[in-house]
Structure 1
């Protein structure tokens, strides 16, 4: 019977990926129905806390986009890159890392890609170097952002395992930065120089690459105010979550939990941005950030609950097979995270699926935190939306897939970045948490 259950889980994942987007969650729901109603497995734990956090953070980030606050951030990122074009290979990854840390989603990189590609081309620098470094760094930042979907799951799970928000951030934030900077360095050394690239020279001869004009944009004061509100909200989340003395304490003696802190602050910030900018509510629910966030919720609700249901039903057998191995070799958790993310195409879905299993199998807390940056396997294939966008934006043709598909410009930076980030995490994490 177990092989039938495994087939249902794998078939749900494969079919969901084939259809793409929200279908991953929907096929997960279908697989869940077969396991529970058909094969009589007990229903697994639904990651409600993670879903609530993602919904509230997505609402706040979507409101920031609707008020043109995200466009305001991108505009200033463009100005910084244009002032220092020679250092674009490192400035671009740092900017996209910081923007993702603040916004909680790597998709914010979409708006900066045309700027990165054009500034690199104007400076005679191979655009694929800056683009691949920027794209990979933005996804590493997901493993360090206090308000990303993946981190929401990580914090919720680890706080229940006696690890504080502060400890999670002190390990994961610098590990993600180390991984991003190593990826940027590796990317800056990839490929020949622009003037020697045969594809670029051919496209130049055919008139397929030209200079893109960028216009100076004026932003209303409300856009700037929205950015300030969003940044203050992010800082407030970190402060309340890090300093227990700031949290409200109730008559029962219990204080406000991190989940509730994030939900309250993010919802309040979204409302303040909406009021101060006089933005129509419809603009929030129709933009890409909101759709992306709600799609993540559907994926987690379906595919993650499906995985949890199967794992919970066979946890005893899994412990016998994998428990001792992971306890003896905790670094093996990193490739598990990497390849699961490559399969699910989502850090936010991988985290609530794999981290609880690692906790149940007795993997040390320090090893879980040290391995977390490996939840970036989306670059195994060059088909992730940000990767595709980078290739599309590069009119020089230097950001391209190689003959063997896996030899694309995002592969080596992401792999070596993961290795460096996990290596750093395994040195740093034991000093922070036992």
Structure 2
């Protein structure tokens, strides 16, 4: 019976991924209905905490975007990227990584990708090199971010055995090392533009050549009045969350034994609650002090992306959690001995599921509890946490498609055989090295 139920889960994920957008969440609900009414499985708890974190963080980021803060950050990043065009393959991914780490979402990098493509093209560096590793780096930024839904889910699942600072102390340095190896893997990827026959053929068209060297990524519009202030408020909010994670005694302590959604059994405020509270408060302060409106926030692209993410995670995680809960004893019996003997093998399960789910938070919420149930040490689970970044494997994730669109030379591509796309090599190298190095840092810091 478990095989049939697993087939239903895989079918829902595959069909939902092909539908794109909210399709993954909707198909998850279809599968959940099949589990409930046909297989009579008891529904697991829906991922309310992850959904609320995404809503809170995206609302704050979208408010900053509406106030012009995103434009300000992009201009600063653009100056850095254009100042050293010969190092775009290195500076591009480091910039997108920091953006995603700061905002807790890879969708914030859409404004950077055209700049990276433009700088690469003008320097006649193959854009595929910088764009491919930059997209992968932005994904690794999610599992390094103190305010991402994936990190918050990881904290909740570990149940206080590892602090927020503990997770960051492993994932941030390990990810940077992984990204540097990824940069090395693409440094000479493909032919140089001046030797690429496809590019040289396109350059015979005068209109194409003229359009290629235009300043498409540079915005001359004046910044909104509250742009810089909105970035400052958002930055202070992120800092506050990190401080609370490092010094939990800063938060009020309540009577033990009265657990609810916001307070754990020991009377401590849950980290998910802190993120939600601080982020929404930051959004309120941006609205008050940065001269923007709630209507502008609702129209922001980040707000739309967040809504899609919430629907997707709602359906697919609830479906997966129900399947795991109903078949936990069978899964433990099948995988338990192997995983206990070689804990690192669990990273392959995380990576494989993330390929199908297209979400770090959804994969973490769905599969990390199994790692805990199998008795894997919390330090090892933290080391394997970045392996949930397998969403580059199938070229359907929005950031991958955006990078392909922004590359006017056509060097960034999907490939004839689907899997031989531009992001495969830097993705496999970066994520693999990050996990390997993560074990080293977890042994040192945890």
TM-score by length of 1: 0.96
The alpha-carbon distance between structure 1 residues 402 and 302, as it changes in their structure 2 partners (threshold 3 A), is closer
SS at match of 1:221: coil
Aligned to 1:241: 245
Task: Give runs of aligned pairs for residues 203-352 of structure 1, distance below 5 A.
Answer: 203-207=202-206, 208-209=208-209, 210-213=212-215, 214-250=218-254, 254-352=267-365
1:244-278 deviation digits (Å, cap 9, x = unpaired): 22112235572322122111111100000111122
CA RMSD of aligned residues (A): 1.6
Distance in 2 (alpha carbons) for counterparts of 1:36 and 1:125: 54
- 2:184 paired residue number: 185
Please name the residue that 2:54 is paired with.
Answer: 54
Distance 1:333 1:165, change over 3 A: same
Q: Which residue does the alignment assign to 1:164? A: 163
Name segments (4+ residues, structure 1) moved above 4 Å.
none
- Is residue 87 from structure 1 mapped to residue 91 from structure 2 by the alignment? no
Relative to 1, partners in 2 of residues 1:83 and 1:254: Cα closer, same or farther, differing over 3 Å? Answer: same
Whole-Å Cα distance in 2 between the matches of residues 316 and 142 of structure 1?
31
Tell me the SS of whatever aligns to 2:220: coil
Distance apart, 1:228 and its partner CA: 0.3
Task: Note the residue ranges of structure 2 that are not aligned, 5 or more in a row.
Answer: 257-265
Query: Could you say if the C-alpha distance between residues 251 and 360 of structure 1 is closer, same or farther in structure 2, counting changes exceeding 3 Å?
Result: closer
> For residues 9 and 251 of structure 1, do their structure 2 counterparts lie closer, same or farther at Cα, with a shift above 3 Å needed?
closer
* Map 1:35-50 → 2, pairs under 5 A: 35-50=35-50
Q: Structure 1 residue 394 and structure 2 residue 410: aligned?
A: no
Aligned to 1:109: 109
Secondary structure class of the residue paired with 1:120: helix
Q: How many residues align?
A: 432
> How far is 1:400 from its partner?
2.0
CA distance in 2, matches of 1:185, 1:145: 24
Q: Does the CA-based 8 Å contact 1:15-1:27 persist in structure 2?
A: yes
Answer whether contact 2:161 2:378 (CA < 8 A) is retained.
no
Match of 2:421 in 1: 408
Q: Is the counterpart of residue 364 in structure 1 residue 368 in structure 2?
A: no
1:190/1:409 contact within 8 Å kept: no
Cα deviation per residue 1:187-231 (whole Å; 9 max; x = unaligned)?
222112121111111111134342122343321330100000001
Query: What TM-score comes out, normalization by structure 2 length?
Result: 0.93
- The 1:404/1:26 distance shift into structure 2, 3 A limit, reads closer
Please report how far the alpha carbon of residue 161 of structure 1 lies from its aligned counterpart in structure 2 after TM superposition.
5.4
Aligned twin of 2:124? 124
In 2, Cα distance between the equivalents of 1:44 and 1:153? 16
Alignment of 1:138-149 (within 5 A): 138-149=138-149
User: Is the CA contact (8 Å cut-off) linking 1:50 and 1:156 kept in structure 2?
Assistant: no
Q: Any idea what SS the aligned residue of 2:415 has?
A: coil
Inter-partner Cα distance in structure 2 for 1:212 and 1:396: 13
| Cα drift, residue 286 of structure 1 | 2.4
Q: Greater CA deviation, 109-118 or 171-180?
A: 171-180
Alpha carbons 1:296, 1:349 under 8 Å: kept: no
- Give the conservation status (yes or no) of the 8 Å contact 2:395–2:401: yes
Contact 2:109 2:138 in 1 (8 A): yes
Mapped contact 2:64–2:231 kept (Cα < 8 A): yes
- Does the C-alpha gap of structure 1 residues 281 and 367 become closer, same or farther in structure 2, counting only changes over 3 Å? same
Q: Which residue of 2 aligns with 1:66?
A: 66
